[in-house]
Amino acid sequence: MTNLTSWLYVDLDIIADNIKAIKEYIGPVKLLAVVKADAYGHGIFPVASCAVENGADYLGVSSVEEGIFLRKKGIIAPVLIFNTILPEQAEDVVNFNLTSTICSIESVKAVDEAAKKCGKKARVHLKIDTGMGRFGILPKDAVEFTAKIYSGFNNIYLEGLYTHFSLASNEGNTRKQFNLFSSLINELKKKGIEIPLKHACNSTALLNYKDMHLDMVRSGNLVYGMCPTSKIKTKNPSQLYSKIVFLKTLPKGHHVGYGNKFTTKKTTTIAIIPFGYYEGLGLTVHQPSNAVDVLKYLLKHLLTALGIRKQDRIVTIKGVKCNILGKISMQNSIIDVTDIRDKVSIGDVAELNARRINISSSVARVYHKENRIFTE
C-alpha cells in the first residue's frame, strides 16, 4: 500500500458485521445482498465472497456480465440479474446458472429455449411494476402472464416474484405499491400458483416495514453502511485516500486551476494530489425534485461564487479539513494547506470524500480482512 498514490481502503470485516446485523434484524427471512455496480464501487468479488460467507442467501447484480464474472471467480451462490436480458444472452444465463428477471414473453421464450438446448431448468424471477415505471409487468397483466409461464414453458422454474418501491421513505406511497403486490400474490394463490420467493423490500423498506419482508429482502445501502439508522448498527466500510505529490506557495492574487475560477486572496500554500474527476472526484449529480429544491441549489452556488459561503469540497490532512481550490482537473486536485503548511510534507495522506460508486476502476482497492491486507 505504501507505494500507491491513491487507493480505496475497504474493510471486509465491517461488511461482514453489517451483513450479520441485517440478518439478525430480519430473522428467518432470506437476504439478497446487492453487489451490482462493482458492489457500489467497493469491488464485486471480494464483497460478494464476504457477503456469502457471512450469511447472504442470494446476490443481486444488474447485468449478465456481472453474473458471469462472479461465476468465473468461483461464486456458486444464487445470483439474480435485475435488468431484463437480451434474447441472445439467454444461453449464457442458463450455462452459468444465473437467475434472470423476466418482464416480457420474448425473454421467457428465449430463456426457455436456451434451457431446453442445455438440458436444464432455468430459474427466473418475474418482476411486477407496481409504481416504479421501470422494468416489470403491470399488475393488471400479471396473472395472465404468470399462467402462461406455468402452462406453456416446461424448461423454466418460476422461483421468484418481486417488485421495487420507488419512494420507500414515504409510507403512503410504499403501502400503495405493497398492497398492489399483495393483491397479486393472493390472486395467484386462488389459481393454485405458489411462487417460493416473494420479495419487495430494499434497505429503507426492510428497516421501516417489517410486515413487508415476505420471503426475502434486498439490501445494498445497509451492506455498505450508507443508510444511517438506529435500528441496525452498520458502519461505513471504506475510505478514499490520495497522497500529496507536490507542494508550493502562491502569492496573493494568483489564479488557481482551469478557467481562473479561483484567485488567492492571500499568500497561499497549496498541495496537489493526483486525484481528479477521472478518478471520480466532484461528480455528484444534482437532480432537483421541486422549485424549492432548485432555489436552494442555485442560492448555495451563488453564495459560494460570491465568496460568502465556503466551498464544501473538502479533504482531511493531518486531521484538519482543507478546501479544494478552483476547478478539479482530470487527474489532479489543488488543496489549500495554508493552515497546516508547517506540518505537511510530500507523501502525506489526504482523506477524500467521493461517492464510492463514482470512483474509477483505475483506483486501487485495498482490502482488510482478519488482520490481512491485500489488493484485488
In the three-class reduction of DSSP (H, G, I as helix; E, B as strand; rest coil), residue 122 is classed as strand
pLDDT tens track for 40-58: 999 999 999 999 999 999 9
**How large is the average pLDDT for residues 33-39?**
97
36 is annotated as an active-site residue: yes
Compute the distance between CA of residue 10 and CA of residue 366 in angstroms, rounded to an integer: 6
Query: Is the model's pLDDT at 309 over the cut of 60?
Result: no
Q: Which residues pair with 102 in a beta bridge?
A: 126
pLDDT tops 90 at residue 355: no
Q: What is the mean pLDDT of residues 135-142?
A: 95
First to last CA, the chain: 12
> Taking 80 as the threshold, does the pLDDT of residue 288 lie above it?
no
Distances (CA, A) of 34 to 44, 111, 139, 207, 275: 10, 23, 25, 16, 28
Comparing 39-53, 56-70, 202-216, 222-236, which segment has the lowest mean pLDDT?
A: 222-236
pLDDT confidence of 295, banded at 50, 70, 90? confident
Band the pLDDT of 354: cuts 50, 70, 90.
Answer: confident
d(CA 183, CA 140): 11
**pLDDT > 80? residue 311:** no
Catalytic residue among 189, 258, 296, 297: 258
258 is catalytic: yes
Give per-residue pLDDT as tens, 108-122: 999 999 999 999 999
Three cell numbers at 219? 439490501
Lowest mean pLDDT among 98-107, 234-243, 295-304: 295-304
Candidates 36, 127, 198, 243; catalytic one: 36
pLDDT (tens digit per residue) in 233-283: 999 999 999 999 999 999 999 999 999 989 999 999 999 999 999 999 974
Confidence of residue 294 (pLDDT cuts 50, 70, 90): low
Identity of the residue numbered 235 = K
Distance of alpha carbon 196 from alpha carbon 178, whole angstroms: 18
**Over residues 183-206, mean pLDDT:** 96
The rounded distance, in Å, linking the Cα atoms of 90 and 101 is: 11
State the burial class of residue 202 (Cβ atoms within 10 Å of its Cβ: 0-12, 13-18, 19+).
buried
